[in-house]
Amino acid sequence: MQSKSSCQSILFFQNLTLVYRWIGRTIGTCALVFGLFTGSHCSITDTDSDQAINLALLAFLSQTEFIPYSVTFKATWSAATHSGGTLGIPANPHFSIPVGAVHSPVLNFWQTGQRASNGLEKLAENGDFTPVDSEMLNGGAISVFYGTAFDSPGSVTMKFSVTKDASAVTLLSMVAPSPDWFVGVGSVDLKEQGAFVSSKTMDLYMYDAGTDSGAAFIAADLDTNPQAPISLIADTPLVGNPVGTFTFKRQ
């Protein structure tokens, strides 16, 4: 499991710089085309392009309303709530560093019945928050955010911001110890009927990433070949028994 102690950074500029570099170059290209048709002369330099990028970025930030939210990951998974059954509970139940992404509600980075990405596999098997964070950024998320690893029962709170167009959140954390199990939500839209919600709580259940065939919390590595689709764990005492909640609150 990755040992990053804590991180609460909103990475808007990582994606926006790429977008606005393209915009800057497009502005430069349009200027050149305009010159060809009008007979005017212009010289587009790297400095011109950088200035266009900065102007476009400033314009975006000045016209975009960022809505601040917090999310509290409250874990209830313990011997008091999940002992017995087929799986029982390990001696040291805990969760890896949660990693979340803010994105358009039309995007979906994981769901049951689909195969886990390479990044989700690494998170579910090892607790690595990367490269799944990069996968989500490269897939269209405008920002990512992180919490801290913690023992269960316990909780951690994270902060992030959404926009009118990027109003959805995906949030993931490894169930530890486990072969490839995780908790999470995918593409939760914090805007309902055109308005941002003041609060939203979601029960959390354990999922199998379908990449390791271990059948107990502590098991030898056994790659699943071919990879199976993501599925809800249906063994007792987990089936129908939430292991925690995500509570989103507008700030």
Exposure of 211 in the CB half-sphere (CA atoms within 13 A)? 20
Percent helix, strand, coil in the chain (nearest 5)?
25, 30, 45
Answer whether residue 9 shows pLDDT above 70. Answer: no
User: pLDDT tens digits, residue range 62-117?
Assistant: 678 999 999 999 999 999 999 888 898 998 999 999 999 999 999 999 999 999 99
pLDDT of residue 232: 97
pLDDT averaged over every residue in the chain: 84
Of the options 3.40.50.300, 2.60.40.10, 2.60.40.2130, 3.30.70.1060, the CATH number for the domain spanning 67-250: 2.60.40.2130
pLDDT per position as a tens digit, 101-114: 999 999 999 999 99
**Would you say residue 142 has pLDDT above 70?**
yes
Q: Of 47, 46, 45, 52, which Cα lies nearest the Cα of 17?
A: 52
For 84, phi then psi, to 5°, come to 75, -165
At 85 the pLDDT is 87
pLDDT tens track for 169-186: 999 999 999 999 999 999
Cα gap 15→138, rounded to integer Å: 8
Q: Which run of H or E residues covers position 169?
A: strand 168-176
| Short-list 195, 220, 223, 189, CA closest to 209 | 223
Beta carbons of 223 and 213 less than 8 angstroms apart: yes
Mean pLDDT of 190-217: 97
What was the pLDDT predicted at 25? 45
User: Per-domain residue ranges for the chain?
Assistant: 12-63, 67-250
Q: What is the mean pLDDT of residues 222-226?
A: 96
Q: Averaging pLDDT over each range in 24-33, 39-48, 170-179, which range is the top one?
A: 170-179
Q: Long-range contact list for 133-139, CB < 8 A, 24+ apart?
A: 133/99, 133/101, 135/109, 136/101, 136/103, 136/109, 136/170, 137/11, 137/14, 137/15, 137/101, 139/103, 139/107, 139/109
3-state secondary structure of 147: coil
The Cα 239–Cα 84 span in angstroms is 12
Residue 13 host element (H or E): helix 12-38
Q: What is the pLDDT of residue 21?
A: 45
Quote the CA–CA distance of 206 and 166 in Å, as a whole number. 26
Q: What pLDDT score was predicted for residue 86?
A: 86
Q: Residue 58 pLDDT > 70, yes or no?
A: no
Give me the pLDDT at residue 24, please. Answer: 44
Q: What pLDDT, on a 0 to 100 scale, did the predictor assign at position 51?
A: 66
